[in-house]
Structure 1
Amino acid sequence: MPKPAINPEMSSLFMDFAQYFELSLAVTPEQKALVYSVRYSVYCEEFGYEDPDAFHNNCETDDFDDQSIHCLVMHKSSGLPAGCVRLVTVGEGDGMPMESHCKGSLDEAFFNNFENKRATMAEISRLAVEGNFRRRRGESATRFGNTSSLHFAAREERTFSLIAVSLFLAAAACADLVRRRDCFAIMEPFLPEILRRTGIVVKRVGGDFDYKGVRAPYYLNIDEAVRAAPDELRLCYEVVRSQFAEVLAPDGERKASRGQESSPLLQPGMISVA
């Protein structure tokens, strides 16, 4: 199967993104608070998906957070959080968040292939991008679009579309490192198209359903996605994976940092794992 075509400018766009943003695992209480604050801002205040009065300290949380690996994108010059995502891992007999939302919409024949294989499964969820880093001049408001309250140069602004993509890459890298290579996600219609344009192809595994808007379930096998990715995207993925591996053990627990051999894939300052 041929690799998806990629815009010839994509490589330089990823380089520009690394100049303006920092991607990290959210492992400290302070980092996790930033993750939850982004979710509160987007899900509660901006779009009204959740009741803001149900949460304390302007932090949106749920019962799955304790069994999740969280990732965060920070805007370097302002020090503001720009986006977040989590990877929810489950044990045998446990359900993923999506299962309670899209029952009846899932392709049961496909999903049954993973019966008694919960140890290989995970859900990518709570992907959110702050409004300040989502809308370019003249664009409409969507949760993952490409800002007005802050002032950005045009070159910087054009990288905003990669925030959601970088978060998806981060979640995929986490899944790879903790051996959860069968990933599921509930997505709005436009997100699979955004991912496809950068070379990430997800498989639709069910019909549309209404959950705070039109959604559908999707599936991604990490190994297959990495093999099929364009060279530029795979390079970025390997950067993320290599540096996350310094602190993320196969069981999802943080481990002590250790030295590693230098690699041409690693660009200092692109990824933070503090």
Structure 2
Amino acid sequence: MANIIDIFNKYFEMIPAISEELKHEVYKLRYQVYCLENGSKTGFKSPVVHPEGLEFDEDDRHSCHYLIRHREQGNYIATTRLILPDAGNRDYLFPIERYSQIADSELLQSISRHHLAELSRFCVSKEFRRRKNEPHLLTTIDTDSGLRIAQEDKRSSSHLTLALFACAVKMSAENNIHYWYAIMEPALMRVFSTLGIHFVEIGPLLNLYGMRQPCVIKVDDLLDSVAKKDLAYWNMLTNNGQFPGTASNLHRVKNLVNHL
């Protein structure tokens, strides 16, 4: 039986958006998801604000991006970014620091800003959030759709979500990032928890295009927790331990799993 990586790679591919052309595709997809598909629901982004059909902001200047492309159709259907620390600007604040009240804690005080980034713009095209008549396609859970996903479908519905996290893990390894900030909808945090991904709340809920939770997570803790949940998920997040920096964790992960 094919594993989830083989199935994913059959239908999709993860592509680093390192060229201006690919970044243009990132901004187009974000415009589609945030301005056209969800803008009227959340007030997050108005198409009027982006008449050129691209959604981007000042933080994209020092962010890295990934796209997920559907092989057969040839279109880009998911994207995420990692906002990196601005080495040239000591006063730079991440969006979470600009928009929320973060509690002072020993955890945050122990994190070097050189190894801290913010995960954001985690999105999937509406077309691929749920494909009722194509069970072979890997889809993500649409928390806004109100659809009730059958128990037997939940496993396959997680794969695009895992793939986006895999992109973030790879970007983190390549940029020496050990922790992620994030501002998330509580419903999305609950979805991630079902995969073994547990973000730590670091401040009160804020009203930022809907109620959202400031949080943080250590990448190694995420990988360990996912391995305990399902080793196949860990393999998906690390490409079987082949992403930079993840192979060295394989022995520890196997020990974690063996002692469950």
Which TM-score tier does this pair reach, normalised by the shorter chain?
0.7 to 0.9
* Correspondence list, 1:166-245, <5 A: 166-230=163-227, 231-239=231-239, 242=242
Whether contact under 8 Å (1:83, 1:128) holds in the other structure is yes
- Aligned partners of 1:177, 1:145: CA distance in 2, in Å? 37
Displacement of 1:89:
0.7
**Structure 2 residue identity aligned to 1:67:** H
Displacement of 1:141:
5.3
Residue matched to 1:97: 95
Which consecutive unaligned segments of at least 5 residues does structure 2 have? 134-139, 245-260
Q: Does residue 86 of the first structure (1) align with residue 87 of the second (2)?
A: no
Displacement of 1:53:
2.1
Residues 26-79 of structure 1, C-alpha deviation per residue, up to 9 Å, x if partnerless?
111221111111110111111111121222431101001110000111111111
Residues 117-151 of structure 1, C-alpha deviation per residue, up to 9 Å, x if partnerless?
211110001111100011344999536998xxxxx
**Structure 1 residue identity aligned to 2:99:** H
- Aligned partners of 1:18, 1:190: CA distance in 2, in Å? 28
Whether contact under 8 Å (1:20, 1:156) holds in the other structure is no
Question: Which ranges of 4 or more aligned residues in structure 1 deviate by more than 3 Å?
Answer: 11-15, 136-146, 155-161, 240-243
Displacement of 1:107:
2.2
- Aligned partners of 1:25, 1:89: CA distance in 2, in Å? 15
Whether contact under 8 Å (1:129, 1:143) holds in the other structure is no
- Aligned partners of 1:112, 1:37: CA distance in 2, in Å? 34
More off after superposition, 155-164 vs 207-216: 155-164
**Structure 2 residue identity aligned to 1:109:** S
Structure 2 SS opposite 1:229: helix
Which consecutive unaligned segments of at least 5 residues does structure 1 have? 1-8, 147-154, 246-274
**Structure 2 residue identity aligned to 1:96:** F
Identity among equivalent positions (%) equals 26
- Aligned partners of 2:144, 2:67: CA distance in 1, in Å? 16
Residue matched to 1:122: 117
Between the two structures, name the one with larger relative contact order (CA 8 Å, sep ≥ 6). Answer: 1
The alignment of Structure 1 onto Structure 2 pairs a total of residues equal to 224
Whether contact under 8 Å (1:144, 1:164) holds in the other structure is no
TM-score by length of 1: 0.72
TM-score by length of 2: 0.75
- Aligned partners of 1:198, 1:157: CA distance in 2, in Å? 10
Displacement of 1:189:
1.4
Residue matched to 1:66: 61
Q: Does residue 108 of the first structure (1) align with residue 136 of the second (2)?
A: no
Q: 1:46 aligns with which of 17, 20, 37?
A: 37
Residue matched to 1:142: 143
